[in-house]
Amino acid sequence: MSPEIQLQALNLNLPPPPPKGGVYQPLVIVGSLAYLSGHGPYLPDGGMIRGRVGEDLDLAEGKEAARQTALAMLATLKKELGSLERIKRVVKLLGMVNCTPEFTEHPKVINGCSELFAQIWGEEAGVGARSAVGMGSLPGNIAVEIEGIFELA
């Protein structure tokens, strides 16, 4: 299964790689591991999906924000690595949801990212370990932030 062919077959519209919003590197490689900085739901027009799930956004909109975050992550990975083929597997995701204290469906929100990665790299290589949790707040009031660790081929 080729992630680049899958990317084309799914006809996905990647946003540009998000601009840096602080003093950090988008991706750092150490040995065979690549550490990807926290990404938000960056849109092709340069905007972000903002708001609190359970208040401003419902579950479906939160999941859509996680999917958009996955597209932004793919954009950074492609830019930094040259090709998604260089990634052997998704190792670990930390999915952080900007939501009300009463919200309970964090895993369903972050599935918006994980399901897309499963389509790109396959059900085994595209699905890593994960935590999906609720934050007190996120930068710029974005709906979702996800960071990841990837194994390189």
Maximum CA pair distance of the chain? 42
Determine if 1 is a binding residue for its own copies (CB under 8 A).
no
Window 88-117: contact mask with its own copies (x via CB under 8 A): -x-xxxx-x--xxxxxxxxxx-xx--xx--
Instruction: State CA 75 to chain mean position distance.
Output: 10
Burial per residue of 19-43, b for 16 or more beta-carbon CB atoms within 10 angstroms, e otherwise: eeeeeeebbeeeeeebbbbbbbbbb
Question: Are 39 and 145 contacting, i.e. CB atoms less than 8 angstroms apart?
Answer: yes
Window 37-66: contact mask with its own copies (x via CB under 8 A): xx-------------x--------------
Determine if 118 is a binding residue for its own copies (CB under 8 A).
yes
Give the three-class secondary structure for 147: strand
Closest approach, Cβ 45 to its own copies, in A, equals 20
Determine if 19 is a binding residue for its own copies (CB under 8 A).
no
Rounded-to-integer distance, Cα 14 and Cα 57, Å: 22
| Amino acid (one-letter) located at 148 | G
Member of 6, 12, 35, 81 binding its own copies (CB under 8 A): 35
Give residues 124-153 in contact with its own copies (rule: CB under 8 A). Answer: 127-141, 145, 147, 149, 151
Which residues are at the interface with its own copies (CB under 8 A)? 21-28, 30-33, 35-38, 52, 89, 91-94, 96, 99-108, 110-111, 114-115, 118, 127-141, 145, 147, 149, 151
